[in-house]
Amino acid sequence: MTAEPKTVADLITSRAREHPDKPFLLFGSGRITYGEYLERSARVAGMMRARLPEGKPPHVGVLMGNSPEFLYLIGGAALAGAVLVGINATRRGAEIERDVNHTDCAFVVADGLYRQFLTDLDVPPMVGSEQIYGEPYEGPGPSAEDLFLLIFTSGTSGAPKSVRCSHRRMLGTGSMIAETVGLLEDDVAYVSLPLFHSNPLMCGYVPTLIRGSTMALASRFSVRRFLPDVRMYGATYFPYSGKPLSHLLTAPEKPNDADNPLRVAYGNEGSWRTIERFERRFGCRVIDGFGPSEGAMGFPRAPSDPPGSVGRPPAHIKVLDDNGRECPVAKFDQDGKILNADECVGEIAATWMSAASCTSPGAPKTGSASTAKTSHRTRSKTSSSGIRQSSRARRTRCPMNPRPIA
């Protein structure tokens, strides 16, 4: 009997053994099977093990656009027990230098487009994307608690913070999302947001591996290419974050927009009006959720929730005041105006979490063993009704919004 996968490395290996010839990745006119993905990831893992210095954090920076090679680097890090650091490709100069050094990268892999942005910076050695292969790595893999990814937040309220994601965290989040959207083996996930962002990895890559599905990767988000790509790849699932739904609705509407295989979209920050318009126009269900990159909490909006709500949180998620006391429930008048904002608006807290399991939003060095604060608040203001937000309650930290390409 096959053991239950506990790490992303286990997922990659087990899926390749179960169905080596099934397509894992679609990119343009090419396709990569699960068996090929394991083989190439193992060669990347060999390169990483050979280059990573002993006695230092095994952190590998990646500054690249969306490509199969980026996914091989993710798979290689999983197999090698290394930590992949996705460098935000929209940042430049001192910002990149700060992000690379803040996360203790041993070296940075960059492709032809982005390596120019590392020139003259005080950063570790650069490895070209054409140099990512070595001898296949066949050594021991990571444990479930080992660090796997460092994903930067958007930096809305200051310098971006690197969020620590263990293998266990990624499998837990990926399993939850796969269950929420009803992902099956024959589904195709269309991933178009940058792979340095949390959404494509937590909502696209890992759920695909968990269900043994197929992932179609776009080089970048494009309004013009969305429907042609969905139809070409037979995409049934679309993960998003931020404003893609709104951008897609700006394209000229056509009578056959709903003639596509898309079944469900899952993401966050979609307004209820945008969601309704998107569902009607493209003939699919949209599940919009709430949750920070740190993963301290997360919950989707249910169809029965009022329009404009972020959803009803589970019992262990509380809204607390500045003294740590639970806020009173919000009250609304018949027009939906909040009546007691002064007492019901506070900070969301996952009250069951231990300090060791919570990511610090301000850890000075991600290589440090101590990265948790005793407070588990997400610094997101909301009302204690868990249903409707006031204007004051909308001060949430937003993920990076992709720049639409016409």
List residues bridging with 177 in a β-sheet: none
CA-based R_g, the chain, Å: 21
* 1-307 is a CATH 3.40.50.150 domain: no
Return the pLDDT at 251.
97
Backbone angle region of 404, left / alpha / beta, with phi > 0 → left and psi within -120 to 50 → alpha: beta
Q: How many CB atoms lie within 10 A of CB 69?
A: 19
Q: Are 391 and 324 in contact (CB under 8 A)?
A: no
Kindly give the parts of the chain with pLDDT less than 50.
1, 354-406
**Which one-letter amino acid corresponds to residue 44?**
V
Looking at 52-156, list the stretches that DSSP marks H as alpha helix, in order from N- to C-terminal side. 68-80, 94-102
**Lookup: tokens for 240:** 């998003």
Query: 3-class DSSP state for residue 23?
Result: strand
For residue 170, what pLDDT is reported?
96
Domain regions of the chain by residue span: 1-307
Q: What is the pTM of this model?
A: 0.82
Identify the CA nearest to 188 among candidates 211, 220, 216, 212.
216
For position 403, what pLDDT does the model report?
33
pLDDT digits (tens, 9 = 90+) for 172-183: 999 999 999 999
- Residue pair 61/125 in contact (Cβ under 8 Å)? The answer is no
- Distance of alpha carbon 107 from the chain centroid: 23
The pLDDT value recorded for residue 289 is 80
What the block records as the tokens of 343 is 């007492």
**pLDDT value, residue 278:** 97
* Whole-number Å distance between alpha carbons of 172 and 169: 5
